[in-house]
């Protein structure tokens, strides 16, 4: 039976349709009302709060620990835990809406190879989009100059169908309707980011001439509405690999439907157009032998310059390095703890927080670099063993019924009013992620004829704020001198901008995607052996 949900937000009101039995968070998200759901709708983070003004569902007192007794009595509920049974009237506070983190112009220093020049004949503005599994980033650019005049990022709303792409592929296999929902979610996020950027730049939708989109293979299938089933079963081949040009209207865009969208080529079922874009941005086609690009996100993509060709591999690191799958995790946006240190004598904990102009300075959670920094600080201080077990008896280590936890920021100093912690469970997730990445690096080097890389370029938002000393401390990378590890920021985003502002670069990308040699790690016995050895810290 159809039900009507009346939605009131600080930015306007709307009505959406739902079926009896629908999950409220999923219905809102599919209708373009994007809420914060940092835990992926698993009823853990309590950030998708809505106030229900109509009659409240019964039997939901188990929400009290999640939303707090005072808010519960006032009618607040976590949307992910509400099933639609009748007509609902909702008030959604601004704090519950998905935040498009906009970057100041002064901070938008996009790096390109020295020999790259935008096509000055291209007029107007364009959008470059990096479709990540966990985060979607968009850049508003002047096409003639390549200058990024603004950027916005938001958590990928597809998280309600799973933190990793395999979960989403499995979900999409259940029915064509779920595949359609996954496409709608990606399109809705890109559309809202685009609108947000245009408003901040005082531009009309018609001022945007085209869009260039990159992403991993699964995200590109979802975005284009193409069944990704072949990516979920051996031999894990994509349904398509070529670059495409499509109209925005064909994908369901209501904003600027006549916009032309270019989607960059894929390499394989594991190596996507985001890796191609990142390789372009850091100059991998002309890099000396032994230089390795490590793009860390929900998957770890690796590209090394061999003697005769570029070789690439992908390893499933999980979303831990993007702040997801961590109890107090968050993206690398304002309020994220990005580094942690512990005084070796007093065991006093200190931290630094990411912030932009006018943003809150109190810590809200741990981003990927903060997670790694915290683990490295624990190891250096002796409060964590090499096998990853926390050593109890120190003041910052809190014992609990479920598992021990390291208190990074006490409740009185946090912006959430709760302790920001790194739990024993979180540390296990770090071990799995860094073990997979280190094993992938070792095997790719071995097949390319190297013992270890000559140098490593770290890309992704994670790599932007990362300390080389921290990753070396926990054994995430091979033992290189810190000076041989550099950060390239969101190289995939920079590569997407290159594809937007110089159409000739698209031919280079398409040839590069054909030329890269891929190494399949899945099922290799030597990968399993390397992975087990790489689990230890240090």
pLDDT tens column, 442-487: 999 999 999 999 999 998 766 667 789 999 999 999 999 999 999 8
Indicate whether 360 and 405 sit together in one domain: yes
| pTM for the full predicted model | 0.83
Query: Given pLDDT bands bounded at 50, 70 and 90, which one contains residue 99?
Result: low
510 inside domain: no
Are 220 and 311 within one domain?
no
Question: Quick check: is 109 in a domain?
Answer: yes
Residues 330 and 308 in one domain: no
User: Domain holding 262: CATH number?
Assistant: 3.30.420.480
Q: Specify the DSSP element, H or E, that contains 49.
A: strand 49-52
Q: Are 176 and 271 contained in the same domain?
A: yes
Supply 57's token pair.
């569902």
Distances (CA, A) of 458 to 138, 283, 354, 442, 476: 20, 13, 19, 16, 12
272 and 166 together in one domain: yes
Residues 107 and 79 in one domain: no
- Has residue 91 been placed in a domain? yes
Residue 31's domain comprises 2-96
Residue 413 shares a structural domain with residue 349: yes
Number of domains the chain contains: 4
505 inside domain: no
Least confident of 54-68, 242-256, 287-301: 54-68
Please say which residue of 218, 252, 276 terminates a domain: 276
Residue 78 lies in a domain: yes
Start-end of H helices in 449-518: 461-464, 468-473, 491-501, 504-515
How many residues belong to the chain? 538
Q: Which tens digit of pLDDT belongs to each residue from 488-538?
A: 888 999 999 999 999 999 999 999 999 999 998 877 888 888 999 999 998
Considering the domain architecture, whether residues 19 and 64 belong to the same structural domain is answered as yes
On whether both 232 and 311 belong to a single domain, the answer is: no
pLDDT digits (tens, 9 = 90+) for 267-324: 999 999 999 999 999 999 999 999 999 988 778 899 999 988 999 999 888 777 776 6
Same domain, 406 and 482: no
Same domain, 155 and 194: yes
Domain final residue pick, 72, 96, 120:
96
> Considering 396, 423, 450, which residue would you say is the last residue of a domain?
423
Of the chain, the percentage scoring pLDDT greater than 70 comes to 93
In a domain, 369, yes or no: yes
Average pLDDT over every residue of 36-51 = 75
Q: Does residue 504 lie within any of the structural domains?
A: no
Residue keyed to tokens 């990793």 = 164
Q: In the predicted model, what is the mean pLDDT of the chain?
A: 87
Q: Are residues 171 and 206 in the same domain?
A: yes
In a domain, 443, yes or no: yes
Among 100-114, 285-299, 334-348, where is mean pLDDT lowest? 100-114
């Amino acid at each position: 039976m159809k039900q009507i949900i009346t939605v009131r937000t600080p930015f306007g009101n709307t009505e959406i349709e739902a079926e009896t039995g629908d999950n409220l968070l999923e219905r809102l998200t599919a209708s373009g009302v994007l809420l914060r759901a940092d835990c992926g709708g698993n009823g853990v983070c309590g950030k998708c709060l809505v106030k229900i003004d109509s009659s409240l569902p019964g039997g939901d007192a188990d929400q009290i620990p999640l939303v707090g007794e005072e808010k519960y009595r006032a009618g607040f509920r976590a949307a992910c835990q509400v099933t639609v049974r009748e007509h609902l009237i909702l008030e959604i506070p601004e704090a519950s809406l998905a935040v498009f983190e906009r970057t100041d112009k002064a901070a938008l220093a996009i790096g390109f190879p020295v020999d790259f020049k935008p096509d000055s004949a291209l007029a107007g503005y364009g959008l470059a989009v990096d479709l990540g599994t966990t985060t979607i980033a968009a850049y508003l650019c002047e096409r003639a100059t390549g200058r990024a005049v603004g950027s916005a990022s938001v958590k990928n709303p597809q998280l309600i169908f799973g933190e990793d792409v395999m979960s989403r592929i499995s979900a999409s296999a259940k029915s064509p309707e779920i595949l359609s929902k996954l496409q709608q979610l990606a399109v809705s996020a890109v559309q809202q980011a685009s609108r947000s950027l245009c408003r901040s730049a005082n531009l009309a939708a018609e001022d945007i001439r085209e869009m260039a989109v990159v992403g991993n293979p699964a995200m590109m299938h979802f975005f284009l509405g193409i069944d990704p089933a072949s990516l979920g079963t051996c031999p894990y081949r994509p349904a398509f690999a070529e670059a495409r040009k499509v109209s925005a209207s064909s994908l369901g865009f209501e904003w600027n439907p006549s916009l032309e969208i270019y989607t960059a080529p894929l390499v394989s079922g594991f190596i996507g157009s985001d890796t191609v874009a990142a390789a372009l941005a850091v100059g991998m086609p002309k890099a000396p032998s032994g230089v390795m690009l490590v793009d860390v996100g929900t998957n770890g993509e690796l590209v090394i310059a061999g003697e005769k060709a570029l070789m690439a591999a992908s390893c499933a690191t999980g979303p831990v390095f993007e702040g997801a799958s961590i109890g107090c995790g968050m993206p690398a946006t304002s309020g994220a703890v990005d580094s942690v240190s512990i005084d070796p004598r007093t065991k006093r904990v200190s931290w630094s927080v990411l912030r932009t102009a006018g943003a809150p300075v109190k810590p809200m959670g741990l981003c990927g670099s903060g997670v790694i920094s915290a683990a490295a600080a624990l190891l250096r201080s002796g409060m964590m063993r090499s096998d990853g077990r926390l050593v109890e008896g120190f003041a910052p280590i809190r014992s609990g019924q479920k598992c021990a936890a390291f208190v990074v920021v006490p409740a009185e100093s946090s912006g959430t009013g709760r302790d920001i912690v790194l739990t024993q469970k979180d540390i296990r997730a770090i071990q799995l992620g860094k073990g997979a990445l280190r094993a992938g690096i070792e095997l790719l080097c071995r097949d390319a004829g190297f013992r270890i890389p000559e140098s490593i370029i770290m890309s992704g938002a994670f790599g932007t704020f990362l300390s080389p000393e921290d990753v070396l401390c926990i054994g995430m990378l091979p033992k290189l001198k810190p000076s041989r590890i550099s950060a390239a920021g969101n190289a995939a985003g920079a590569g997407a901008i290159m594809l937007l502002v110089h159409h000739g670069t698209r031919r280079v990308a398409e040839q590069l995607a054909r030329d890269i040699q891929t190494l399949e790690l899945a099922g290799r016995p030597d990968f399993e052996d390397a992975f087990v050895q790489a689990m230890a810290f240090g």
